[in-house]
Amino acid sequence: MKKAVKGEKMVKMLNKSTGNEGDISRQYKEHTSRKYTYILSGLVLLFVMLIFSISIGSVDIPPMEVVQTLTGHTVSVRWDSIIWNIRLPQVLTAIVAGAGLAVSGVVMQSILRNPLGSPFTLGISNAAAFGAAFAVMVLGTGSTHSTVGDAVVISNPYTTTVVAFAFALAVTAIILAFSRFRGVTPEVMILVGVAMGSLFSAGTMFLQYFADDVQLASMVFWTFGDVSRASWSELALITGITLCTVIYFLLERWKYNAIDAGDETAKGLGVNVEKVRLRGMMCASLVTAIIVAFLGVIGFVGLICPHMARRIIGDDHRFLIIGSMIMGSLLLLCADTAARVLIDPYQLPVAVLTSFLGAPTFIYLILGGRRI
């Protein structure tokens, strides 16, 4: 309420100071230019964090040397190797996966008109994880090893992704079917998601039961998501699909704004709501599936980051889509950096940290503080 009064005062004050035609448009442009500033600031922060994250770890590399190495100047062969082979792919994977999960969450929240929607809370992540595990264990699209670092090597990323996507789609179809029922509250939808999540976790456990020791150890791969696993080629595939999906989401940004205003308003504005919903959910599931297949389940990023971005930038998808992506990248990058240094020399899977962060936030959202 305070904000409303403040806004009113601001408008009145500005009206007084100028009083010319076009005042409202000018004020509006000032208002939107602030959002561009937020986005730009976010990008700068992300870049700083990227350098910082590359520079710290079991071997500390000064930030200036990181920048030099990244711009193609060899400072030390050892650092060169650490940065290009280990740290940079990991950091970029965190950025892309964070952005991908957050953008999936923001779109799901909009098209399902459910503030609790996200790939994880709707059970889509777990379904994709089961699909990927199924592909590797049963269809032989990858091999399993006992070493912790490379527990699972995916030899056929395309089939693995397709199978993960197929299972993610199955859950999406169920969620969409439920969303058509009148009077289904956001909480009920999440309960359906929990049921789906449990079902596919049980599926993964079923696979574990028949797995040998080596396979069993490697199953943990999908349970605790970790961004240090992706190779450059896997990162390229995740980035390619995330990028295409984001472009599609950006093209649809007005439609998501219209759906936020209610299905009927959207239809009255010429939006084919059912089509937008179906395609949006499919694209969001695809991004989720590819991230989960290669990195494992990373919970809550898709739920929290859109809400954090909404808090700063509002619900306008022209800014919210990019804002959520930056927030997702930042959060996952920070979490991954923390996971690397917290119990040095050991490295925690990043999903452990996001879950520590996400679980209380999720409960807070359920208890009614939808706008965190």
Partner 1 sequence: MILEVDGVEFQYKSKEVLKNIKFELKRNEILSILGPNGVGKTTLLKCMNAILKPKRGTVLIEDEDVLKLEQIEIARRLGYVPQRCEPARLTAFDAILLGRMPHIKWNITTEDVMIVEDTIKKLSLEDMALRYIDEMSGGELQKIGIARAIAQNPKLLLLDEPTSSLDLKNQLEILDTVREVVRKENVSAIMTMHDLNLAFRYSDKFLFLKNGTIFAAGSMEDITPDIIREVYGVPVTIENYQDISVVIPV
Contacting positions for partner 1 (CB under 8 A): 1, 3-4, 7-8, 10-12, 15, 22, 24-25, 27-29, 31, 113, 254-255, 257-258, 260-262, 264-265, 267-272, 310, 314-316, 371
| Residue 43 beta carbon to partner 1: minimum distance, rounded to whole angstroms | 20
CA dist 135 → 57, 284, 337 (Å): 34, 21, 30
As a whole number of angstroms, the distance between CA 199 and CA 133 comes to 14
The set of long-range contacts for 14-17, using a CB threshold of 8 Å and a minimum separation of 24, is none
CA atoms within 13 A on the CB side of 126: 20
Q: Which is nearer to partner 1, 39 or 49 (CB)?
A: 39
* Shortest distance in whole angstroms from residue 371 CB to partner 1: 7
CB 113 to partner 1: min, Å: 8
Burial 325-342 (b: 16+ CB within 10 A, else e): bbbbbbbbbbbbbebbbe
CB 119 within 8 A of CB 111: no
Nearer to partner 1, 72 or 368 (CB): 368
Instruction: State the nearest-atom distance from the C-beta of 192 to partner 1, in Å.
Output: 22
d(CA 147, CA 177): 42
- Residue with Cβ nearer partner 1 (22 or 345): 22
Instruction: Reduce the DSSP state of residue 154 to 3 states and report it.
Output: strand
Nearer to partner 1, 15 or 41 (CB): 15
Nearer to partner 1, 4 or 343 (CB): 4
State which residue, 65 or 315, has the beta carbon closest to partner 1. 315
Q: How far is the CB of 6 from partner 1 (least distance, A)?
A: 10
Least Å distance between CB 269 and partner 1?
A: 5
CB 340 within 8 A of CB 56: yes
Q: To the nearest 10°, the Cα dihedral for 313, 318, 116, 306?
A: -50
The residue count of the chain comes to: 372
